[in-house]
Amino acid sequence: MSDGHGPPPGPDPGSSTGPGSGSAGDSAPPEVRVVSSPRRRRTVSARIVDGVIEVRVPAWMPKAERERWAQRMRDRVTRQVRRAPRDEDLERRARELNRRHFEGRLRWTSVGFATQARRWGSCTPLAGVVRISDRATRLPPWVVDYLLMHELAHLVEPGHGPGFWELVNRYPLTERSRGYLMALDHLAGERGDSPDEESLPGDAD
């Protein structure tokens, strides 16, 4: 599934803050890179890129205000990462879905989260590798289960034909989950390029 992101603008020179190589999961404060976007007018967003929290702000924003927003968004993303499910949790859920809906017949080599900005998940059937976008750590558990079900079904049916959907539809919340994700992708396309986004005070969307 695509989230409608365009190519990211370049980072501002000298706009990084925090320790040199921290990540949002470390005990030390993670590094923050502030990106100035001429397309952005009324919102500030944040996402993790290669272990660095990238905060996107309007190009007109003064330096002091950028620094305040960088700290605010860093705190928010750090809290989310600390609460987020881990690869071990995803593996456990995959095993449960396999037991419930595939009679435990599926085999894979790896199930885990990965940075995927333009789709919610991927599966490499021959290698037995299933990846779910790290954006999904902010979704309700029942939607994450649908994403897993979708990718696990690809271990049996690589394409999206009738046989594939017959497998996916064994999950009872498939249609509800698909509707949720379609609405989320549509909203992300209208508002900008990140679910971790805030409107600036005094501005209407």
3-state secondary structure the chain: CCCCCCCCCCCCCCCEECCCCCCCCCCCCCCEEEEEECCCCCEEEEEEECCEEEEEEECCCCHHHHHHHHHHHHHHHHHHHHHCCCHHHHHHHHHHHHHHHCCCCCCCCEEEEECCCCCCEEEECCCCEEEEEHHHHHCCHHHHHHHHHHHHHCCCCCCCCHHHHHHHCCCCCHHHHHHHHHHHHHHHHHHCCCCCEEECCCCCC
Query: Are 123 and 72 contained in the same domain?
Result: no
Any idea which of 1-10, 170-179, 192-201 has the lowest mean pLDDT?
Answer: 1-10
Total number of domains constituting the chain: 2
- What pLDDT score was predicted for residue 4? 36
The last residue of a domain, from among 36, 52, 83: 83
CATH of the domain at 134: 3.30.2010.10
Query: Are 136 and 54 contained in the same domain?
Result: no
Local confidence band at 85 (pLDDT 50, 70, 90 cut-offs) = low
Q: Is there a domain that residue 6 lies in? A: no
- What pLDDT score was predicted for residue 149? 98
Q: How far apart are CA 170 and CA 180, in angstroms?
A: 18
**Cβ count within 10 A of residue 141:** 10
Q: Is there a domain that residue 202 lies in? A: no
Q: Is there a domain that residue 146 lies in? A: yes
Query: Are 27 and 105 contained in the same domain?
Result: no
Q: Is there a domain that residue 180 lies in? A: yes
Closest by Cα among 5, 40, 66, 68 to 205? 40
Average of per-residue pLDDT across 184-201: 57
Q: Is there a domain that residue 67 lies in? A: yes
Please provide the size of the chain in residues: 205
Query: Are 121 and 151 contained in the same domain?
Result: yes
The last residue of a domain, from among 51, 83, 115: 83
pLDDT in tens, 93-149: 999 999 999 999 999 999 999 888 888 999 999 999 999 998 898 899 999 999 999
The whole domain housing 163 covers 87-187
